[in-house]
Amino acid sequence: MSSASRKYDLVIFGASGFTGQYAVEEMARVAEREASSGGGGAIKWAIAGRSEAKLKDTLKACSDQTKMEQLKSVPIIIADVSDAASLAEMAKQTKVLVSCVGPYRFFGEPVVKACVENGTNYLDVSGEPQFLESMQLKYNDTAKANGVYIVGSCGWDSVPCEMGVQFTEQSAPGPLNSIEAFYKMIPGPHGAAAHYGTWQSAIHGFAHRGELASIRKRLFPDRLPRPKHRLTPRSLISWSRETDNWCVPFPGSDRSVVIRTERAMRDRLPDRRPLQFFPYLQVGSLFNAIVMLLLGSVFGIMASFKFTRRLLESYPRLFSLGVFSHQGPSRKQVETTSFAMTFVGVGWASAADAGSAKDGNSSDLKAPSTRTVTKLVGPEPGYVATPICLLQAAMCVLRESDKMPKKGGVLTPGSAFRDTKLIDRLKSCGLEFTKVLVDDVSQ
């Protein structure tokens, strides 16, 4: 079925879920902007899910929230992850399918399979490395053969990180050896919160983290070359002079996604120097850092056993100290929360200074001498920034596929959208990318 004959440009699957509703609201704004810009014409889109009644309620609620009456007439498709035929029928109707149905380790693969088999481009907001990497292992070759793009982690995990890394590379005077990223969550006066779905994904990610070794052994049989100037990971608690803050290692999927991007870029650009990357979370004080590490240890232990895992799932508010709940954050919390990311890249003043070895371990390789600092600031991560990132990535697939890898495949955001205008699109939606400084690394 040719792409031109598809009924819709884009379908949001899981639209009645917590994240899905925010995606519907953002899609209405995207469609309005696209229609008025004249760049590529009106976007034909629909929503999908299991329950027609819930989907209708979602459209009404989103229409009331955004004051956009046209939302009430958005088409509805009925599809269920337990019904392969319904997924195939949904996939056949659209050029791009964005999935908000998680946890993806439970509900993701049937949707990916339907899209790959029916020539439909697929994006999601998964932050689950096991799912993301197993999909690449299982479906990359078929996706390439069918010429479709399967791009996971297109929400706050991990588009801001990937585009922040790219922006830092573009801002640097020469090649970079490494980047450290420092994330900061900024709650408003009403505090910050998150939905149970994210909590459940984290529980099962920790519970099954042992799966990653075997997946990666098959997916990446060859190691990336060992750089001559290695970036040593910080300790569990460290002080960042760049952000003037205490930090702990960031537990999300961003580092694994960036490493997959580096592998993909090495395949496409053999002379590219592999970039080292470590992300950290700013926590405000030494006391907060200690408490966070203790809570993380308890969480990891409890997630490892079936009985205690059930406790975590049954009482999310209790074990997350009020952060996670089935209700999710309030509108006031979402509207007043924001995030900031600081990227510190260390590298060389020019390609000549970087030496000649593509693998970064030549005997004539000088020590990195320059530091480039950039900053990315944006709105609430989970339910404002995530739909923005997801749908602007989808617009890249629809409008700029000629600038994406020509064969398709299972890709990361960094490898899929590197040559598109995704950063500019994010800027137009309120995410701010700023070059802070470029100086000597010794300063």
Least confident of 28-32, 347-351, 385-389: 347-351
**For residue range 83-108, what is the model confidence (pLDDT) as tens digits?**
999 999 999 999 999 999 999 999 99
Least confident of 191-205, 267-281, 426-440: 267-281
- Helices 52-66 and 18-37 cross at an angle (nearest 10°) of 60
**Given this model, what pLDDT does residue 352 score?**
80
| Contact of 46 with 16, CB cutoff 8 Å | no
> By percentage, how much of the chain surpasses pLDDT 70?
96
Count CB atoms within 10 A of the CB of residue 191: 14
Confidence band of 380 (pLDDT split at 50, 70, 90):
very high
What is the arithmetic mean of pLDDT over 316-324?
A: 95
Q: Is 38 helix (H, G, I), strand (E, B) or coil?
A: coil
Please return the burial class of 37, using the count of CB atoms within 10 Å of its CB with bins 0-12, 13-18 and 19+: exposed
Confidence band of 376 (pLDDT split at 50, 70, 90):
very high
**Given this model, what pLDDT does residue 3 score?**
63
Structure tokens, 289: 């850092």
| Contact of 71 with 24, CB cutoff 8 Å | yes
CA distance 259 to 263: 6
**Given this model, what pLDDT does residue 357 score?**
47
Q: What is the pTM of this model?
A: 0.95
Least confident of 57-71, 305-319, 359-373: 359-373
Candidates 386, 388, 397, 396; CA nearest to 421 is: 396
